[in-house]
Chain A
Amino acid sequence: MTGRATKTIRVNTLARVEGEGSLYIKLVGERVADVKLKIYEPPRFFEAFLRGRHFSEAPDITARICGICPIAYQMSAVHAIERALGIQITPAVRLLRRLFYCGEWIESHTLHVYMLHAPDFLGYADAIAMAKDHRAVVEKALRLKKIGNRIVQLLGGREIHPISAAVGGFYKVPTEQQLRELVGDLEWALEASLETVRWTASLEFPNFEQDYEFVALCHEREYPFNEGRLVSNRGLDIDTAEYEDHFVELHVKHSNALHSVVRGRDSYLVGPLARFNLNFDKLPETVQRVAIDVGLRPPVKNIFRSIVVRAVELVFACAEALRAIREYEPPASPRAEVHNRIGVGQAITEAPRGILYHRYALDENGKILAAKIVPPTSQNQKRIEDDLREYAPRLVARPIEEATWKCEQAIRSYDPCISCATHFLKLSVDREQITD
C-alpha cells in the first residue's frame, strides 16, 4: 500500500523588506517536483520612469533603484549614455570611477560577508546573535563598511543615493588632499580584508559543485568594474552592445522578475564567482597569492564558497582604491563637454553581485526615448532555481527547519539584491512522502 503525506512549512518574513521574495519547493520522495523562486523587482518600473526624461537625469534616477548598489546603476547609466553620445572621459575621471566602485564593493561585500552570510556558516540566526560571540568580528565589519561609505560620500556627495556622478564625469571631483585622507583607513581596511579572507576560508562549506556558465566583464589589463568585453567560460566573447543578441529575458508565471538565459542555452551565473574565474589573471599578483594561500583557484564551482571570493574581492577593492588614490591627479575639468545627439548606447558594469546592463535610446534633444535595465539578481534568478533543484534532494533526510535554512543559505550565496537577504524569504515546502 502506498500512502502520501503533504507537509507545508512557511517562514514568515518581516512585513517590510526592500523587495520581497518567496521560495516554493515541492519534494516527492527524494525527487524535486517543483522549485519556484519569486522575486518582485519594482526597480524595473524605472525603465518607464526614464522615458521622456533628459539623459542627464538618468544617473540620479537610476541610483534610486537600489540603496545597496546605487553606484552600479549610476555607472552603467553614464557609460551607456556616453556611448550613445560618443563622449570620451578623461583618465582622471576613469580612475575616480574605479575608486567610486571600490567604495561600493567595500560597503556591499562587507555587509554581505559579515552581516548576511557569515551567520549561516557559524550557526547563528543573524548578525546580532553572532555578535554576542564574535564581537570583534562584527566591530571589524562596521569599521570596514564605514570606510566604504567614506569613499562613496566623498565621490558621490552623500552615502546613500549619491548625486555627483554625471554623464561625462562628475559634478564635483575631490582634491588630492581629500583622497589622501582616506589612505590610513584604507591601509587598515586592506589588512582587515586579508584577515577576512583567512577567516571565511576557515568556514565549512557544503560539497556542492555545479557546472555553471560563468558570465562577466573581461578587460585586457584590469579586474573589471566599468569596461571590458562580456565573456563566458562557454565561448561567449562579445561587445557589451551585443548583449541583447545573446541573452533573452523570459517571463515566468510565478515571478514579476524576468528570467534571463543565454540565447539557445540556459541559465548562467554572474557575480563574484564569475568575475574571479574569468579574471583571476587580472588580479594583482599579491591578491592572487592571497587567494591561492587559502586554496582558492579558478574555477571555483561551489556557490557556497562565494563568501571567500567576496573576501578576496574586498582585498582587491582596498588595494585598487589605494592605487587609484596614489595615481590621482585632478582633471582640468570635472566632466567632458556633452552635446545632444540622436543615438543608442549600451553599457555593462560589474555591480557587487554581478553584471548590470543598461541601454538608452536618445533623441536630438537629449530625451530618453527608451531604456532597458537588466539587474544582476534577475540574471541569477533562474540559476538559483537550478541550484535548488540539484541541492534540495540532498536535504530530504534533514529536519525541515535545517533544510529550510540550507536552502536560504544557498540563495544568500548569490547575495540577491534584496537588501535584507536574511529576512526576504518565505519558504513553502510541500513534501509528499511515499510510504509502503
Chain B
Amino acid sequence: MLIIGCGNRQRSDDGAGIVVAEKLRELGIKADTFAGQLADLIEAWTGADDVIVVDVVVTGAPVGTVQTWDARQALISRKAPASTHGLGVAEAIELARVLARLPARLQVYVIEGQRFEHGAKISPELHSGIEEVVHRIVDAVSATVCATYKQDTKECGTPRPGLVEKKACR
C-alpha cells in the first residue's frame, strides 16, 4: 500500500496531509509526502495498485471534518480539494482517470481546513481530523496486513512486529 500525504507544511492547515504522513511514520508505517505538481503526483503512484492520498479541502463542512472518497468509483469535486501547489490532487486524479493511469484502488482522505496563510501552525480544530485519518489508515493497513497474512497462513495472527503494534488483527 502506498500512502501519500499531500500539502504544504508552510501554509497553515494545508500541512495537515503532511502531518498525517509524519504520524504514520512514527507508528512505523511507510508514508510519503508530496508537495509537488499534478503531473508528479501521477508519476508518484505509477506502478502502485493500492494507494491512499491525504489532503485538505474546503467544502463548507465543519473544520476538521474527515471525508473519504473512492477515486475509482466517484468523480472528485474539483472545487473541493483546492491546493496551494498549482493544479492539485483533485486535478491529478481526474487527469489520471482520463489517461487511464489511476491505481487499481485509490482512497482519498480529506480533512476540512480553514486557514491557508503562510505559517506552520495548523488550526486546533483540525487535530481531531488528523488523528481520525491516522487511525483509519492504520486500520486499513492492518486489514491489508491481515489479509495478506491470512492468505499466506490461512489464519489470522498479529500484524507484522513494529508495524502497528497496538492494533490487533480483526
Contacts and interface: CB of A to CB of B under 8 A. Distances in A.
Interface of A: 14-18, 42, 45, 64, 67-68, 111, 115, 126-128, 131-132, 135, 138-139, 141-142, 145-146, 149, 159-161, 419-420, 422-423
Contact of A146 (B43, B82, B99): B43
A128 B92 CA distance: 9
Contacts of B40: 145-146, 149, 159
Given A127-B87, A127-B95, A135-B98, A16 B39 contact: no
Contact of B82 (A14, A67, A68, A142): A14
Given A14-B79, A146-B40, A160-B36, 11 more contacts: A15-B116, A45-B118, A68-B86, A111-B39, A115-B87, A127-B87, A128-B91, A141-B39, A142-B99, A419-B85, A420-B83
B58 A15 contact: yes
27 contacts: A14-B83, A16-B11, A16-B83, A17-B82, A17-B83, A18-B84, A45-B118, A67-B37, A68-B37, A111-B39, A131-B98, A131-B99, A135-B98, A135-B99, A141-B39, A142-B39, A142-B42, A145-B37, A145-B40, A159-B36, A160-B35, A161-B35, A419-B85, A419-B87, A420-B83, A420-B88, A423-B87
A132 B98 contact: yes
Contacts of A64: 10
B97 to A, nearest CB: 8
Contact of A115 (B39, B82, B85): B39
A420 B86 contact: yes
Contacts of B91: 126-128
Q: Which of A115, A142, A146, A149 has the most CB of B within 10 A?
A: A142
| Interface core residue of A15, A45, A161, A419 (most chain B CB under 10 Å) | A15
B50 interface: no
A141 B79 CA distance: 24
Contacts of B87: 115, 126-127, 419-420, 422-423
Interface in B33-75: 35-40, 42-43, 58
B22 interface: no
B39 A42 contact: no
